Amino acid sequence: MREYATQMEAAKKGIITPEMKIVAEKEYIDPEELRALVAKGEVAIPCNINHKAISPEGIGTRMRTKINVNLGISGDAKDYEKEMQKVELAHKFGAEAIMDLSNYGKTNTFRRELIAKSPAMIGTVPMYDAIGYLEKDLLEITAEDFLKVVRAHAEEGVDFMTIHAGINRRAVEAFMREGRKMNIVSRGGSLLFAWMMMTGNENPFYEHYDEVLEILREFDCTISLGDALRPGCIDDATDAGQIAELIELGHLTQRAWEKDVQVMVEGPGHMAMNEIEANMRLQKRICHNAPFYVLGPVVTDIFPGYDHITTAIGGAIAASSGADFLCYVTPAEHLRLPDVNDVKEGIIASKIAAHAADIAKGVPHARDKDNAMAEARHKVEWEEMFKIAFDPEKAREYFESTPPADRHTCSMCGKMCAVRTTNMILEGKTVEFCSEK
């Protein structure tokens, strides 16, 4: 029996846990420095006591930017085998987290297999699962029912849960008063809004927040405070509804920390590039520097089919401005459930954003592979380049698709390759193009 219930309680007691030691080694940080950051809530290590396969990761201040991959079945796409193929891709390309967003039938079959096998953190949104799990219509579900689903997910080993506790009556009033082009685009937020409007009751996750925290504390499950009122188009960004909910999330963050429950706070959403940095700073200020988890942001609304690119742009700006955790977006966003290829494109795009931000933030050793790639390119060592590349198979496939006559160049520049020309001159050789040498 361990001496602490959660990573945060251990940190406050001065205990460096085995999970902290692993994270400290991964992040090139002194374990004592990490412990202090966990104690303050600036770093979360989502690690449910029942998730035995996990490889712990830290999210927050001084940590590498992490990415999350959304998976799960729906009524229109319920192929468990295909979802497991996506899981394998997430593992292959180093996604640190996987969220099971299944919303059809008895979803715990897929989730239990995921938790049993996955070294990545596993997240869920209990609100999505409530209807299928309880087999009740929305109006029939009680506050106690919602808590049952939270407990079920925690017992299964879920490492973090998105709980939309901030969309209370005050936040709804601000949203209703101002109005929006896209209204509420959060699935969990819309269901809670509907439940509140139909029953006349307060948000059950807000009203019974202490009970939610007690459940999460028991299993050391991190709460990810969901942004139900996140903007769903760039014109709705930074409006009264978003900010009203953010203020509530800041207060809920402190209440969770008082119970030694680790916290992440979720953020926008769709947002023009010029608003991103200010939003990151505002979120960190109001939520006391808790780890910040963003969806995108999507920086323009007119590129369906390419939203992995629009969000990579926004994600890079967000992470370089303070966001700690990026939720991937695939080319299928706004259109359909992503297939395996969509998932790969989404993962790669998010990894690009996260890595680019880590370089900008000066994260220790972030540039190491980039420098190694520069050295391999300087020497025109193709095998070394492929080895260093994040996706070696694709790099090799492109190179080999139009093979150059001279393996010391590629088919784009041929013998006019700038690297080849400069290397030859510096080696004291003569550069000639009109005769074979």
Any idea which of 154-158, 234-238, 266-270, 431-435 has the lowest mean pLDDT? 431-435
Residue 106 confidence (pLDDT): 59
The predicted structure's pLDDT at residue 151: 97
Q: Which residues are annotated as a binding site?
A: 70, 99, 128, 164, 186-188, 227-230, 266, 270, 293, 334, 410, 413, 417
% of the chain surpassing 90 pLDDT: 85
- Each residue's pLDDT tens digit, 6-58: 999 999 999 999 999 999 999 999 999 999 999 999 999 999 999 999 999 99
Reported as a pLDDT band with limits 50, 70 and 90, residue 405 is confident
Q: How far apart are the first and last CA of the chain?
A: 74
| Residues that constitute the known binding site for Zn(2+) | 270, 334
CATH number for the domain whose boundaries are 7-361: 3.20.20.540
CB 50 within 8 A of CB 33: no
Tens of pLDDT, residues 358-401: 999 999 999 999 999 999 999 999 999 999 999 999 999 999 99
Query: What confidence category does residue 293 fall into, taking pLDDT thresholds of 50, 70 and 90?
Result: very high
The three-state (H, E, C) secondary structure of 268-291, written as one string = CCECCHHHHHHHHHHHHHHCCCCC
CB atoms within 10 A of CB 74: 14
> Which percentage of the chain shows pLDDT scores above 70?
97
The Cα 416–Cα 414 span in angstroms is: 5
For 308-370, the three-class secondary structure string (H helix, E strand, C coil) is HHHHHHHHHHHHHCCCCEEECCCCCCCCCCCCHHHHHHHHHHHHHHHHHHHHHHCCCCCCHHH
Across the chain, mean pLDDT equals 94
Q: How far apart, in whole angstroms, are the C-alpha atoms of residue 161 and residue 204?
A: 15
For residue 437, is pLDDT > 60? no
- What is each CA distance from 315 to 57, 303, 337, 388, 389, in whole angstroms? 20, 16, 21, 23, 21
pLDDT 10s digits, 188-204:
999 999 999 999 999 99
Query: Shortest CA distance to 416 belongs to which of 436, 431, 402?
Result: 431
208 pLDDT higher than 90: yes
Q: Which residues are annotated as a binding site for [4Fe-4S] cluster?
A: 410, 413, 417
The pLDDT tens digits for 225-259 are 999 999 999 999 999 999 999 999 999 999 999 99
Residue-range domain boundaries for the chain: 7-361, 368-426
Q: What confidence score (pLDDT) does residue 75 get?
A: 56
Length of the chain: 437
Annotated binding residues for substrate, written as ranges, equal 70, 99, 128, 164, 186-188, 227-230, 266, 293
Q: Given this model, what pLDDT does residue 135 score?
A: 80
Residue 78 pLDDT exceeds 70: no
- Is the per-residue pLDDT at 105 higher than 90? no
pTM: 0.94
